[in-house]
Amino acid sequence: MFGGTPEGQDGISGLNAFGRPAPDTYLDCSLPGEASAVGRSLAPRRRASDAPSVGLNSSPIPRILPMSVTIDDVRAARERLDDPSVVRKTPIDSCHSLSELSGAVAILKMEHLQRTGSFKTRGAYNKLAQVASGTVGRVVAASAGNHAQGVALAATTVDLPSTIVMPRNAPQAKVDATRGYGADVELTGDTFQEAMTRARELARGDDALFVHAYDDPDIVAGQGTLGFELYEQVPDVDTVIAPIGGGGLIGGTSMALADIAPDVRVVGVQAAGAATVPQSLAKGVPVPVNHPDTIADGIATGGVSALTLGLIDDHVDEVITVTDGEIARAILLLLERAKQLVEGAGAAPVAALLSDKLDVTGETVVPLLCGGNIDPARLQEVLDHAMADRIQLLRLRVRIDDQPGKMADISRRIAGQGANIRHVRHDRAVHGLDVGEAYLVFEVITSGRGQAENTIAAIEDDGYEVERVN
């Protein structure tokens, strides 16, 4: 049961915020080119025999929830998801590169290959398949993108009209896809919570059904079918890593795994700029974040519900946070090494796997790639940052006498090193320049550090003042 002190301790010496023994094992395992991660820790995996009999506090805390979900609900949902054109059994694939980097056997659960590009159709279809023949005349939902597509496809499949309210900053790719699956889309507000308020207003009426993205037992039960499916595919799994936005995926999946494989450790991951679960667990109630800030828009919900927080507290062993930088690197690694294109939320479990916060040495670990609906502009941003980190994207500011031929001269020197100029501009009205001087700012694509250093040296050897500005 949830609860705890602000310090994350439960009042029992040696237990962490999840009621598990305190960390006592360490591993040094860093990404190439990064500083060694000393002090990497892991609380030993929970076993069925040593699971705490009380909550995170040292005494039981009564919990009365407005609604609940049971393992029988998850089993019924699995029977209901019988149309592979809506919800398919997604593949798994081992990843040698991730295994080497993490010291584990890494097996990717590729839920981003669902028809809508995420797991969300599981819950949406489970919900709407039960009401299609009743009095419901229309469906309303709020979503940052993936739930929108799941509800749109499920509603169209069961012949119900749907209206989806999305934040104005929702990725255009997700907006377009939601419309493509048959929904009317209304863009309102700048956050998920603002979209939620508007959706509830639209859902007023006797024949309207509001479909919440995670605070609904039918939705959670549908997402929980992923736990059964995953375990059938990887019966020797030791650790499952799942992202947390509103908590529906990890709540349902962890409950399913607790039923069929209680020895499996479940780790939740949140983006640091949208993390709500650690504080919510400490206080015993959902604590929202009013303005989540992360590139992982699929998990930027701003909070969990009492329903999902209770499931997390009951069945999840650890919750860690990762930075946007770690998420961006995970997106790129999956693209380069696993040949899988995922969005920020889908990459968060891999970011956790490669972080210094989680030890999976010698284990079989399954990160859930929950979504693949990344906006092209966001992907370009991630690639540009990654290339800049690797010095494959180089911005050089060269001070020149503003005379004809200078740009051509420097361009020849860049080309002579085999580098390619992507963009160049003149800056003349800049503080510190004398009359008759200018800056040429080159954006150059290189093969890496060696070519970048040679390019800079070639320009400097001709007497130019060069500054790297990225």
Mean pLDDT throughout 412-438?
A: 94
pLDDT band at 351 (very low <50, low <70, confident <90, very high): very high
For residues 274 and 263, what is the distance between their CA atoms, to the nearest angstrom?
29
pLDDT band at 385 (very low <50, low <70, confident <90, very high): confident
pLDDT at 66: 55
> How many C-beta atoms surround the C-beta of residue 391 within 10 A?
17
Query: At 427, phi and psi to the nearest 5?
Result: -120, 115
Residue 354's closest CA among 384, 392, 325?
Answer: 325
Maximum mean pLDDT: which of 204-213, 258-267, 375-384: 258-267
For residues 7 and 10, what is the distance between their CA atoms, to the nearest angstrom?
9
pLDDT at 44: 41
pLDDT at 27: 29
Q: What is the dihedral of CA 244, 345, 366, 80, to 10 degrees?
A: 70
Let me know whether 142 and 185 are in one domain.
Answer: yes
Residue 67 has pLDDT above 90, yes or no: no
pLDDT at 33: 36
pLDDT at 205: 81
Residue 35 has pLDDT above 80, yes or no: no
Let me know whether 267 and 327 are in one domain.
Answer: yes
pLDDT at 16: 36
Residue 317 has pLDDT above 90, yes or no: yes
Let me know whether 105 and 252 are in one domain.
Answer: yes
Mean pLDDT throughout 372-390?
A: 89
Q: Which of 211, 236, 270 is the last residue of a domain?
A: 211
Domain assignment present for 377? yes
pLDDT at 96: 96
Let me know whether 241 and 126 are in one domain.
Answer: no
Greater confidence (59 vs 303) lies with 303
Q: Are strands 239-243 and 265-271 parallel, antiparallel or unpaired?
A: parallel
For residues 457 and 470, what is the distance between their CA atoms, to the nearest angstrom?
17
Let me know whether 102 and 248 are in one domain.
Answer: yes
Let me know whether 107 and 127 are in one domain.
Answer: no
> How many C-beta atoms surround the C-beta of residue 375 within 10 A?
19
Question: Which residues partner with 466 through β-bridges?
Answer: 398
Let me know whether 230 and 326 are in one domain.
Answer: yes
> How many C-beta atoms surround the C-beta of residue 263 within 10 A?
13
Q: pLDDT exceeding 70 applies to what percent of the chain?
A: 86
Domain assignment present for 138? yes
pLDDT tens per residue across span 171-209: 787 899 999 999 999 999 988 778 889 999 999 988 999
Number of domains present in the structure of the chain: 3
Domain assignment present for 20? no
pLDDT band at 386 (very low <50, low <70, confident <90, very high): confident
pLDDT at 77: 98
Mean pLDDT throughout 437-448?
A: 96
Greater confidence (163 vs 205) lies with 163
Dmax over Cα atoms in the chain, in whole Å? 80
pLDDT at 261: 97
2: its two tokens: 């949830």
Residue 100, amino acid: E
pLDDT tens per residue across span 80-132: 998 999 999 999 999 999 999 999 999 999 999 999 999 999 999 999 999 98
Alpha helices in 264-404 (DSSP H): 277-283, 306-315, 324-333, 344-353, 376-389
Q: What is the dihedral of CA 281, 284, 288, 292, to 10 degrees?
A: -10
Residue 29 has pLDDT above 70, yes or no: no
Let me know whether 344 and 198 are in one domain.
Answer: no
Residue 385, amino acid: H
For residues 220 and 246, what is the distance between their CA atoms, to the nearest angstrom?
10
Let me know whether 255 and 324 are in one domain.
Answer: yes
Let me know whether 374 and 274 are in one domain.
Answer: yes
Q: Which of 383, 398, 415 is the last residue of a domain?
A: 383
pLDDT at 191: 80
Domain assignment present for 289? yes
CATH number for 403? 3.30.70.260
- Residues written for the chain: 470
Question: Which residues partner with 105 through β-bridges?
Answer: 364
pLDDT at 389: 87
Residue 9's closest CA among 31, 17, 357, 191?
Answer: 17
pTM metric for this prediction: 0.82
User: For all residues of the chain together, what is the average pLDDT?
Assistant: 86
Residue 257: is it exposed, middle or buried by C-beta count within 10 angstroms (0-12/13-18/19+)? Answer: buried
Question: How distant, in Å, are the alpha carbons of 173, 174, 292, 380 from that of 376?
Answer: 8, 11, 21, 6
User: Are 123 and 223 within 8 A, CB to CB?
Assistant: yes
Q: Which of 185, 211, 237 is the last residue of a domain?
A: 211
Residue 325: is it exposed, middle or buried by C-beta count within 10 angstroms (0-12/13-18/19+)? Answer: middle
Greater confidence (145 vs 147) lies with 147
**Residue whose tokens read 């002579």:** 416
**Residue whose tokens read 């929980």:** 224
Residue 146 has pLDDT above 70, yes or no: yes
Let me know whether 157 and 252 are in one domain.
Answer: no
pLDDT at 132: 86
Let me know whether 271 and 140 are in one domain.
Answer: no
Structural domain including 156 reads 120-211
Domain assignment present for 2? no
Question: Which residues partner with 437 through β-bridges?
Answer: 401
Alpha helices in 181-305 (DSSP H): 192-202, 217-233, 248-260, 277-283
User: Are 116 and 143 within 8 A, CB to CB?
Assistant: no
Residue 395's closest CA among 430, 419, 377, 429?
Answer: 419
Residue 59 has pLDDT above 80, yes or no: no
Domain assignment present for 19? no
| Gap between the terminal Cα atoms of the chain | 49
Domain assignment present for 350? yes
pLDDT at 144: 73
Residue 465, amino acid: E
CATH number for 275? 3.40.50.1100
Domain assignment present for 39? no
